[in-house]
């Protein structure tokens, strides 16, 4: 008798369902037996595990099968062991040019390593079956994933590898943490001057605000704790403002003072009543700050799903302007990014999100190069590095 035949014999004669083996061993034996009966032979590792369990339970098997020691010691099998092809690949999804795929045959260590990177990645990590994972195709994601899995002998698409090498080279050679007042980078100073004007004491607020975007140092800190100053001297690109501490009118006023329009607003997009309340709040804040033209909200509810009249309110407010280079404020639902946002060259200078789930969307990836993203509400997002300033 071969060892696999012994297992099938035990299964067919119901010995695996009786209290012969410990519960953990019984679960493994039942799984292996069903696998054999489905014409999927064992791998070498599975065979070693099977013999180990049988040898640990020979005292019970002796009363069921004669000469069980001889069967186990002979270590004979009815077929060659099944060889699992080891797959480890990173490539661009053929069906979605905006997705980066990480594919590997099941490996608990690699899976844990990948999921452990989730908080560092841009956008959410999606799972497709047991061995396919995907994430948005961004420079940051390429650098993180290739950097982590290159040493794991992954086969990396040539195009992705070239991207990684270019990104890594740029990061290694870039000039960072330098004073803007001492910088000799004329292109940088010209771009900054075009945006905020000359370097004067009156511009200390804007020089603080733009240092994340342009990657320079500015050491003149402003002493006051106004909302505008707190935003300008934020420690990172993503901040949280509690709606019980500051009104949306105050937030819009700060963005106007910091020359942070055009603005992209992220709605929850699920509940008509909730979104209408947000829309009215936004409308009041914009009007109070003199922002009343070139505003567009680019999502609607189906007629049966709009009991609060969200769609009608947009029309009444005149927030149905086409997106153009003149657009001051654009609003979208968190779950959908209109395609014309990609085709047009409009880009926000700041983002306000009314939903904490903004990180898990294509809209978030679209905004990865925006250096001011404000989460406004009563709860700070649980995911991602978001600094509470108020």
Asked if the structure places residue 79 within a domain, the reply is no
Q: What would the pLDDT profile of 202-236 be if each residue is shown by its tens digit? A: 788 998 999 888 877 787 888 888 999 999 999 88
Residues 25 and 152 in one domain: no
**285 and 274, same structural domain?**
yes
- The verdict on 189 and 147 lying in the same domain is no
Structure tokens at 107: 């490996």
Is 83 a member of any domain? no
Find the mean pLDDT for residues 121-126: 80
Q: Which residues of 82-92 are buried (b: 16+ CB within 10 A; e: fewer)?
A: eeeeeebebbb
Task: Name the DSSP letter for residue 261.
Answer: -
Predicted local distance difference test score (pLDDT) of residue 383: 67
Asked if residue 11 is part of any domain, the answer here is yes
Residues 191 and 264 in one domain: no
pLDDT reported for residue 18 = 66
CA distance between the termini of the chain: 74
Residue 351 pairs with which residues in a beta bridge? 264, 373
Number of folded domains that form the chain: 4
Domain membership flag for residue 82: no
- Tell me what pLDDT residue 360 has: 66
Residue 37, in any domain of the structure? yes
Q: Domain for residue 80, yes or no?
A: no
Strands 373-377 and 132-136: unpaired
pLDDT, one tens digit per residue, over 54-88 is 888 888 787 777 788 888 888 899 999 988 778 89
Domain that holds residue 126: 88-173
**Domain final position from 173, 188, 206:** 173
Residue 118 has phi, psi (to 5 degrees) of: -55, -40
């Amino acid at each position: 008798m071969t060892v696999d035949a012994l297992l099938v014999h035990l299964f067919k004669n119901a010995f695996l369902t009786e209290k012969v083996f410990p519960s953990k061993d019984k679960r493994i034996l039942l799984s292996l037996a069903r696998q054999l009966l489905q014409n999927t032979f064992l791998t070498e590792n599975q065979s070693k595990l099977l013999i180990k369990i049988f040898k640990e339970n020979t005292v019970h098997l002796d009363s069921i099968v004669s000469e069980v020691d001889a069967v186990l010691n002979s270590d004979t099998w009815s077929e060659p062991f099944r060889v699992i092809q080891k797959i480890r690949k990173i490539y661009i999804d053929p069906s979605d040019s905006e997705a980066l795929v990480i594919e590997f045959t099941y490996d608990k260590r690699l899976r844990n390593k990948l999921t452990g990177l989730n908080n560092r990645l841009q956008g959410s990590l999606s799972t497709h079956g047991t061995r396919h994972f995907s994430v948005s195709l961004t420079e940051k994601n390429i650098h993180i994933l290739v950097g982590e899995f290159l040493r794991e002998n992954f086969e990396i698409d040539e195009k992705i590898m070239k991207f990684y090498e270019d990104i890594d080279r740029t990061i290694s050679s870039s000039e960072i943490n330098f004073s803007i007042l001492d910088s000799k980078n004329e292109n940088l100073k010209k771009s900054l001057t075009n945006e905020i004007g000359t370097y004067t004491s009156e511009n200390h607020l804007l020089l603080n605000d733009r240092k994340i975007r342009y990657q320079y140092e500015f050491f003149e800190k402003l002493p006051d704790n106004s909302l505008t100053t707190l935003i300008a001297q934020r420690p990172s690109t993503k901040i949280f403002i509690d709606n019980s501490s500051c009104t949306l009118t105050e937030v819009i006023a700060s963005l106007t003072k910091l020359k942070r329009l055009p603005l992209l607003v992220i709605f929850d997009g699920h509940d008509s009543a909730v979104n209408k309340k947000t829309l009215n709040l936004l409308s009041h804040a914009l009007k109070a700050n003199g922002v009343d033209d070139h505003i567009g909200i680019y999502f609607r509810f189906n007629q049966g799903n709009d009991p609060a009249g969200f769609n009608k309110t947009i029309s009444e407010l005149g927030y149905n302007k086409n997106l153009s280079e003149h657009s001051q404020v654009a609003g979208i639902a968190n779950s959908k990014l209109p395609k014309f946002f990609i085709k047009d060259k409009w880009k926000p200078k700041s983002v306000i999100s009314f939903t904490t789930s903004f990180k898990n969307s294509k809209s978030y990836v679209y905004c990865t190069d925006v250096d001011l993203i404000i989460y406004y509400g009563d709860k700070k997002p649980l995911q991602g590095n978001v600094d509470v300033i108020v």
